[in-house]
């Protein structure tokens, strides 16, 4: 079957939000559950955050500050902060991730979504300096209102930021347990295979790894804070979104492509994981 490629618009909606400790009326400060990605730059002070229901303290203890990501619909809130904290947030609409999906590759996407908390202060000076340069460029583009004129340049800049975070994560993971890391790496590799879209059950992946479902669950939970099922669903949703944005396949054809018994089952799965129907998603991203 031939697939007709459709053009993806390069325009990206990016909103800049500034938060300062001495201006806060109260806590917590919550990121509402949506698909926007928050690229965060803590320039001074410290904040105590709740990220996917886990506590973290972030301090701007490196020159240029520290940087972290809040991916998609992950639960996030600032529980408290020092009076001198200064946090810049660049909130980017989800459509840029779908646009970059084929460029970054599923391994990078899975890695960014699977790490419990991605912060530059754990990644070393070189990574932090690279992110400092990129965030300064992003700030400059927003200040000069260059988003419309330089849509593609903005895409490349965001891609470089994600790849830099990915390289930092890779460094961090070398410090983790080798056996668990090997299993997680093989799990993500299997997830990246084309036939993975045909399977939504954890048993299939556990069998491929020659371990029990319980063992896979424990490793995923211990290493990332997420379950295998969450990774499987997140990967499938990313693939579905990419398919809807880059092809003219009908929803019936897409449901068959992802091994659903019918279009209704596909629609229910997509809506349960995204809060919208495939039709609503496609209409929203025309």
CATH number at residue 236: 1.10.10.60
Helix (H, G, I), strand (E, B) or coil at 190: helix
Mean pLDDT of 261-266: 95
pLDDT interval class at 177 (50, 70, 90): low
Q: What is the pLDDT of residue 261?
A: 94
User: What CATH code is carried by the domain that includes residue 122?
Assistant: 2.60.120.10
What are 163-173's pLDDT values in tens digits? 899 888 877 76
Domain boundary among 150, 173, 196: 173
Asked if 201 and 158 sit in the same domain, the reply is: no
- Could you tell me if 233 and 273 are in contact, meaning their C-beta atoms sit under 8 angstroms apart? yes
Residue 4 has pLDDT above 60, yes or no: no
Identify whether residues 275 and 143 lie together within a single domain: no
Q: Please give the DSSP secondary-structure letter assigned to residue 119.
A: B
List pLDDT tens digits, range 68-87.
888 766 678 899 999 999 99
Residue 19, phi then psi, degrees to nearest 5:
-125, 130
Same domain for 127 and 102? yes
Question: Which of 173, 189, 211 is the last residue before a domain boundary?
Answer: 173
Predicted confidence at residue 9, as pLDDT, reads 43
**Is pLDDT above 80 for 55?**
yes
Q: What is the band of 151 on the pLDDT scale with cuts at 50, 70, 90?
A: low
Closest CA to 119 of 46, 176, 192: 46
pTM, entire model: 0.59
pLDDT of residue 108: 82
Distance CA 246, CA 240 (A): 10
Q: Give the residue-averaged pLDDT of 37-44.
A: 91
pLDDT of residue 72: 63
Most distant pair of Cα atoms in the chain: their distance: 60
22 and 62 inside one domain: yes
Residue 205 carries which DSSP code? H
Indicate whether 83 belongs to any domain.
yes
Number of C-beta neighbours around residue 39 at 10 A: 22
The total number of structural domains in the chain stands at: 2
Q: Which domain holds residue 193?
A: 178-284
pLDDT at residue 122 in the model = 78
**Average per-residue pLDDT for the chain:** 83
197 vs 208: CA distance, rounded Å: 14
Strand partners, 48: 57, 80
257 with 140, same domain?
no
42 shares a domain with 126:
yes
Cα–Cα distance measured from residue 157 to residue 137, given in angstroms and rounded to the nearest whole number: 8
The structure tokens listed for 15 are 């909103």
């Amino acid at each position: 079957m031939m697939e007709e490629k459709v053009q993806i618009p390069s325009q990206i909606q990016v909103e800049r939000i500034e938060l300062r400790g001495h201006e806060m009326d109260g806590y917590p400060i919550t990121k509402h559950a949506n698909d926007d990605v928050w690229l965060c730059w803590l320039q001074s002070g410290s904040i105590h955050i709740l990220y996917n229901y886990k506590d973290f303290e972030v301090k701007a203890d490196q020159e240029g500050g520290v940087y972290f990501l809040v991916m998609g619909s992950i639960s996030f809130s600032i529980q408290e902060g020092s009076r001198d904290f200064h946090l810049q947030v660049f909130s980017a609409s989800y459509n840029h991730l779908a646009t970059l999906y084929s460029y970054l590759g599923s391994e990078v996407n899975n890695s960014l979504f699977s790490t419990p908390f991605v912060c530059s202060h754990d990644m070393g000076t070189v990574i932090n300096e690279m992110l400092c340069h990129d965030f300064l460029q992003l700030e400059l583009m927003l200040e000069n209102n260059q988003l419309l004129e330089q849509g593609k340049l903005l895409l490349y800049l965001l891609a470089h930021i994600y790849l830099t975070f990915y390289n930092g994560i890779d460094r961090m993971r070398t410090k983790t347990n080798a056996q668990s890391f090997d299993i997680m790496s093989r799990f993500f590799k299997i997830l990246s295979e084309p036939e993975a879209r045909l399977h939504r059950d954890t048993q299939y992946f556990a069998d491929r790894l020659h371990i029990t479902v319980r063992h896979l669950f424990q490793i995923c939970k211990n290493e990332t804070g997420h379950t295998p099922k969450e990774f499987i669903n997140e990967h499938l949703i990313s693939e579905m979104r990419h398919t809807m944005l880059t092809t003219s396949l009908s929803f019936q054809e897409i449901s068959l492509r992802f091994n659903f018994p019918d279009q209704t089952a596909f629609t229910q799965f997509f809506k349960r994981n995204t809060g919208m129907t495939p039709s609503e998603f496609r209409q929203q991203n025309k």
